[in-house]
Chains A and B, each alone.
Chain A
Amino acid sequence: DVKVTQSSRYLVKRTGEKVFLECVQDMDHENMFWYRQDPGLGLRLIYFSYDVKMKEKGDIPEGYSVSREKKERFSLILESASTNQTSMYLCASSSPGLAGSTDTQYFGPGTRLTVL
C-alpha cells in the first residue's frame, strides 16, 4: 500500500518562529511536491523536486524554502513564520510521467498549521 506521511496533523507556531514540515514517501518516487490549500483558492504549488538535492519553485514560493537530502524525504521550511502562512499544507509524490507528462500524485494527510 502506497504511503505518504507528514510529521504533524496539527501545528501551532508563533510569528517569527522557524517551522519545519516533514514529508516521507515509501514508494521510491522521484517527484515530490508541497502545496498549500486555502478556502476559495484551492491547492497552490509552493515547491517541487524532481530528484535528490533538486528543487524548483512553484507558483507561490515566497517565504518558503525546501530541502531534499534523501529521495524519500522532502522538507518544507518557513524561515520566519507569519500569520498569512496559516494554512493546510499538503505533500505529494509521484513517478515521472510518460514523455514529460505528470503521473498520479499520492498525497499525505496534510498538516494544518496555525501561526499566531
Chain B
Amino acid sequence: SQQGEEDPQALSIQEGENATMNCSYKTSINNLQWYRQNSGRGLVHLILIRSNEREKHSGRLRVTLDTSKKSSSLLITASRAADTASYFCATDTSYGKLTFGQGTILTVHP
C-alpha cells in the first residue's frame, strides 16, 4: 500500500476559491514534501515541511503537518486557472528516498 495517500482524488473549483488537499501516511517520517505536476510534465517542488514543524507558508500555499495523526494538508488560497495540475505528497522515510502518493487532480475553472 502507498505510504502517502492523497484525498480527494480529484477536486474541481472556481477561480478565487480555496483548494485543500490532504495526505495521510503510515510510518514515521523525517520530512514531507508537496509537488505539482502539470499535464504530461515533470514534477515541481512546492514545499518541504520537517517532522518538527507544524505549519509552513509559501506565497498562496499553506502546508500543515500533524505527526500524531500522520497527516498533512496543502491549502492553495485564491486559486487561479494556472493552478490546474496534479498535486502529490511525498514522504521521506528512509535515507535518500521519497515515497509518493497517487496525487490529487485539481481543476480550477476560470
Contacts and interface: CB of A to CB of B under 8 A. Distances in A.
Contacts of B48: 103-104
A27 interface: no
B45 A102 contact: no
With most chain A CB atoms within 10 A of its CB, the pick from B30, B42, B88 is B42
Interface stretch (A11-19, A60-68, A71-79, A105-113): A105-113
Contacts of B98: 45, 102, 105
Contact of A90 (B30, B43, B45): B43
Interface stretch (B13-21, B61-69, B72-80, B100-108): B100-108
Interface size class of B (residues with CB under 8 A): 20 to 34
Nearest to A50: B96
A66 to B, nearest CB: 14
Contact of A40 (B30, B33, B41, B102): B102
Contacts of A31: 96
A16 B2 CA distance: 31
Contact of B97 (A40, A41, A48, A110): A48
A42 B101 contact: yes
A99 to B, nearest CB: 8
Contacts, number: 70
B40 A42 contact: no
B45 A105 contact: yes
B96 A48 contact: yes
Contacts of A97: 30-31, 92, 96
B44 interface: yes
Given A42-B103, A101-B31, A107 B97 contact: no
A11 to B, nearest CB: 14
A106 B45 contact: yes
A88 B42 CA distance: 10
Interface of B: 2, 30-31, 33, 35, 40-45, 48, 50, 88, 90, 92, 95-103
